[in-house]
Homo-oligomer: A and B are copies of this chain.
Amino acid sequence: MPSADRQLEPRRKPRQVRAELTRDRILTAAAHVFSEHGYAAGTTNRIAEHARISIGSLYQYFPNKDAILAELLVRHVDRGSWKQAEEVDLSPGTLESVVRALVRDAIDNHRDDPQLLRIMVEEGRFSQELRDTITRHGAQRVAQVRDVFARHPDVNVRNLDIAVDLIVFTVELNTHRLAAFPQTVAVETVENELVDMVTRYLRG
């Protein structure tokens, strides 16, 4: 049971390479274990075992279980926002191409481990500060998308703000589903339909 506002700082900062390596091993193992068993059943001992290090070492670098999840979330968000910054210059073009870029970006952004992402977002109880950061990133993304659509001449919806909220969420969640059940149908097919849906909606 993760609880907000706990100590998240490590008790020891790595100074040698092997320490950095151990830290990475822990995080990689944690990502694997959390996404496989969920947060509650992803015990610290299991993580240590999977990382092939002792439980003691784990607690050298993370003060508690929550801190591990928090670190994973921070890493994901950092990676995500970095991608977004590069994605902006894809704005001009036909409406469909813009939507397609948006969908592709979402898909790419979740290829690694959708299970883990779900757990981080939905099971984690983080500090207010961390949650604010996430919210800000999300809002920033929505605003970014909004601007692109606001400029485009083909866009024709009653309420752009709500439309963008709806679209971003829909694309995001369908991406999750796609990544979580990869066997059912081809990714391109779903991508096409998703693009169609959003494009037709925006055109009015």
**How many residues in A have their beta carbons less than 8 Å from beta carbons of B?**
34
Assess whether A190 is in contact with B174, with CB atoms less than 8 Å apart: no
Question: Does A83 belong to the interface (CB within 8 Å)?
Answer: no
A180-204 residues at the B interface, CB under 8 angstroms:
185, 189-190, 192-194, 196-198, 200-201, 203-204
Question: What is the total number of copies of this protein in its complex?
Answer: 2
Question: Does A90 belong to the interface (CB within 8 Å)?
Answer: no
State in angstroms the CA–CA spacing of A27 and B14 once bound together: 49
Contacting A177 at CB < 8 Å: which of B40, B162, B169, B192?
Answer: B169
A107-158 residues at the B interface, CB under 8 angstroms:
118, 122-123, 125, 157-158
Q: With A201-B197, A201-B201, A204-B200 in contact, do A189 and B40 touch (Cβ < 8 Å)?
A: no
17 residue pairs bridging A and B, Cβ less than 8 Å apart: A1-B40, A38-B123, A38-B125, A39-B40, A118-B122, A123-B123, A157-B193, A158-B192, A158-B196, A162-B185, A162-B190, A163-B193, A166-B194, A170-B170, A173-B173, A197-B197, A197-B198
